[in-house]
Structure formats: structure tokens, C-alpha cells
Amino acid sequence: MSSTFGSAFRVTTWGESHGSSVGCVLDGCPAGLEISRDEIQRQLDRRRPGQSKLTTPRGELDSVEILSGVFEGKTIGTPIGLLVYNKDTDSSKYEEIRNKPRPGHADYTWKQKFGHYDWRGGGRASARETIGRVAAGAIAQKMLEAVGIKILAYTTRIGPVTCPSPDPFDPELAERIESNLVRTADLEIAEKMVEAITNARKDKDSVGGVIEVVATGVPIGLGEPVFEKLDAAIAHAMMSIPATKGVEIGGGFPICSLRGSQTNDIWELDDDGAMRTRTNNAGGILGGISSGMPIVARIGFKPVSSIPRSQETVDISKMEPTNIEVKGRHDPCVLPRAVPIVECMLALVLADHAIIQGIVPRSFAKE
Ligand SMILES: Cc1cc2nc3c(=O)[nH]c(=O)nc-3n(C[C@H](O)[C@H](O)[C@H](O)COP(=O)(O)O)c2cc1C
């Protein structure tokens, strides 16, 4: 089983949905980086359940404790332990799925592979596992900001409702994204997206969508061809988030039906005589190496599988067809809560490659 991500900047997450706690150990973070509990908590608050009428009502504050690796407000270069206790677990509704695997969820594959596993609340397959990623990713984001790299994600699709990609350099973008429940860039479209989720919930159903993430300020040179190309690392990171079904870099699938003359990013010189490309269909990555242009990726999320309507399945204790109506508290759409997870996974990838490339100092501490 694999619970560790990254090589130079490594995070190991632990914990199950209805176990005592979830969290992570982050190893490889340079010393001297200023980081507060509140900065980590801020990202966790954006991920936490119960944050709005559109998310699961599970009542968790997801309050983080820093166990190690930080002294007097700065990292000390040793493993950073981060812990969040699970407070609002109700496993009673999950008894049924022990023998009736939910369509679209991980129940049957986990049972067949491991035999003995924690089925309560989806166990380790639950999105509660991503708390460790977000806590570590918040530190990665802080480290990247110290070397001029900023990451921002936002929803561009919920069901049939789409929002065009915004200008990533718009100074008000981050505030606008955070001012609406679905974390999208356009406030009018946000209302339609909210309606799409509300309608799905009313219909005892769920809805999927797409999140776009952009990293600006990434210097040329990040990425290790051939198997650790930057785009490969991003795809790996994003596809490990629960419920993801696809990753596109830059122009993605739509440019695959065009011609090279329409899609090549032309090299040119900017006002300071520096190389740049006129367009960014490559999404900031050429040959697996960052090009100096913004890194752009889009991640597709499926509709949540746990829906409170009757669906067919098999009772595997009797090997007989049966029906299941999934109980428990579930998100009708993962997108609003997945935005910080996507940001943090990109931060973990870029932090790892920034350290490997040597653009992050061994210590931020000033002598
Ligand atoms: C933020 C977030 C919240 C989620 N909430 C739920 C949920 O409430 N109910 C559910 O069935 N799946 C939820 N999921 C998705 C499941 O964890 C996921 O579909 C399941 O583990 C099976 O994995 P797979 O879809 O990647 O194959 C959520 C995913 C994310 C990213």
C-alpha cells in the first residue's frame, strides 16, 4: 500500500474516516520557514465538511495540531507531524455496506484486495484522508510563495454549467473565488452552479465537474525527464485525489483535434528581452520541464457515488442481487471542497521539484 507522496519533499498521510484521527508526517521541508498553525488551518477550513449548505453536514472543525518540526514559529528541518482528531463519527449507517457494495464507491475492491479493512465511512478511501495532504500542502504553498510561486484553483464546471478560465493575474481573483460557495471565478455563474448542486440534491442525486489550477511564477527547469516529468508528476498527484477521473494540461483534449499551426506556442521576446510563448497551449510544460509560463491543469471529478436513492447491487454474503439506498452524510458534489485539495496537491509536486532543482534554499533562516 502506498501512503507516501514525493521524494525530496515527502508527505505520508495516515488515518481512516471513522478512526481516532487523521494527519500526516511531512519530511524534507527546509528549516527557517515561517509557518503558523493558523496558516495551515486556513486551508483546512476551505476543505472541511459542513462549511456550507452544499457540503456534507458531518460536523467536523478539523482543528489541526502541530506535533513536531516547528519551533518558535519556524520549521526546524525535522519531520513535521500534523494531527486532526475525528470528532463526529457515526458508523451506524455503514453496517449495510459491509455486504452490499455501493455502486461507484471503493467498498468491493477494498474488500476483495485486503480482506480485512475499515469499512466505516469509507475508511481510508474516504476524502478525510486528504486532510493530511491539505495540511502538508499549506506548508508547501508557504514555501513556494517564499520563492515567488503562487497557486490558485477554481471551479470551471459543475454538471452542465461552465465558467470560462479567468486571467490568473487578476489581483481580485482569489477574493472573488473565495466569496462564493462553489469557488468559481464569476459570481453570476456561481449562482447557476449552486442551483445545479441544489437540484441534484433535491433529486436525491449528485453532480460532478472540473477544477482548473494555475501556478504562476514557476521558473524554467522544474521536472525530471523521463519518468518524473513535471506533467507526469502533476497527473499522478491529481489522479490520486478521490473521485478524479481525468487530468488535462494546458490546451488538453480540445487541442488534440486541431493542427500544429493552430496550437504551437510561438516563442517571442517580452519587453525585457526574455523568452516567452505567445500562447500557452503547453500549460507551462515542454518536454516534462517547466517553461516559465504559468502551469495550467484541469481536473475532472465524477459525481459522488453515495446517493440516497435506491440502486441495484449484489448482497455478497448471499451472492444475490439486491438494492441499496445509501445512508449517512454525503457531499452532493465534491468540487467546492476539492478546490483546496487540488491547490495543495500541485503545491506538493512543485515543492518537491523546486527542492530537487535547487531553487529552494537548504534553510530560510538568516544567520
Ligand atoms: C472533497 C471530497 C469529498 C467527497 N465526499 C464524498 C462523499 O460524501 N460520499 C462519497 O460517496 N464519496 C465522496 N467522495 C469521493 C470518494 O471518496 C471516492 O469516490 C471513493 O473513494 C472511490 O474512489 P474513486 O472515485 O477515486 O474511484 C469525496 C471526494 C472528495 C475529493
- Considering the domain boundaries, does residue 366 fall inside one? no
Distance 219 CA to ligand 1 centre (A): 34
3-state secondary structure of 263: helix
pLDDT of residue 125: 95
- pLDDT tens figures, 231-247: 999 999 999 999 999 99
Q: Please give the Cα distance from 206 to 187 (Å, whole number).
A: 22
- What CATH number has the domain bearing residue 322? 3.60.150.10
| Site to substitute for ligand 1 among 334, 342, 343, most atoms within 8 A of C-beta | 334
- Considering the domain boundaries, does residue 364 fall inside one? no
**What pTM value is reported for the model?**
0.98
Distance 263 CA to ligand 1 centre (A): 35
**Cβ-based neighbour number of residue 356 at 10 Å:** 18
pLDDT-above-70 percentage for the chain: 100
Contact 212, 168 (CB under 8 A): no
pLDDT of residue 95: 83
Q: Which residues line ligand 1 (CB under 6 A)?
A: 56, 105-106, 122, 125-127, 241-243, 302, 304-306, 330-331, 334, 337-338, 341
Q: Which domain holds residue 256?
A: 4-357
- Considering the domain boundaries, does residue 55 fall inside one? yes
Distance 75 CA to ligand 1 centre (A): 32
Q: Please give the Cα distance from 334 to 197 (Å, whole number).
A: 10
- Considering the domain boundaries, does residue 190 fall inside one? yes
- Considering the domain boundaries, does residue 367 fall inside one? no
Q: What is the position in ligand 1's atom list of the atom closest to the CA of 302? A: 25
Residue 335's H or E segment, with its range, is helix 335-357
Position 282 pLDDT exceeds 60: yes
Least confident of 110-119, 256-265, 332-341: 110-119
Q: Please give the Cα distance from 136 to 312 (Å, whole number).
A: 39
- Beta strand extents in the chain (DSSP E only): 4-5, 10-15, 21-27, 64-66, 70-71, 74-75, 80-85, 150-158, 161-162, 209-216, 244-249, 267-269, 275-277, 285-286, 289-290, 295-301, 310-315, 320-325
Query: How many domains is the chain partitioned into structurally?
Result: 1
140 grid coordinates: 508547501
Query: Nearest C-alpha to atom 19 of ligand 1 is from which residue?
Result: 243
- Considering the domain boundaries, does residue 328 fall inside one? yes
- pLDDT tens figures, 108-124: 999 999 999 898 989 99
Contact 233, 5 (CB under 8 A): no
Listing DSSP states for 231-247 in one string gives HHHHHHHHHTSTTEEEE
- Considering the domain boundaries, does residue 363 fall inside one? no
How far is residue 198 CA from its own chain's centroid? 23
- Considering the domain boundaries, does residue 365 fall inside one? no
If you ran DSSP here, which 8-state letter would residue 95 be given?
Answer: G
Q: Please give the Cα distance from 320 to 281 (Å, whole number).
A: 51
Position 367 pLDDT exceeds 80: no
Distance 304 CA to ligand 1 centre (A): 6
Least confident of 33-42, 74-83, 152-161, 327-336: 327-336
For the packed helices 335-357 and 230-239, what is the interaxial angle rounded to 10 degrees? 150
Distance 81 CA to ligand 1 centre (A): 25
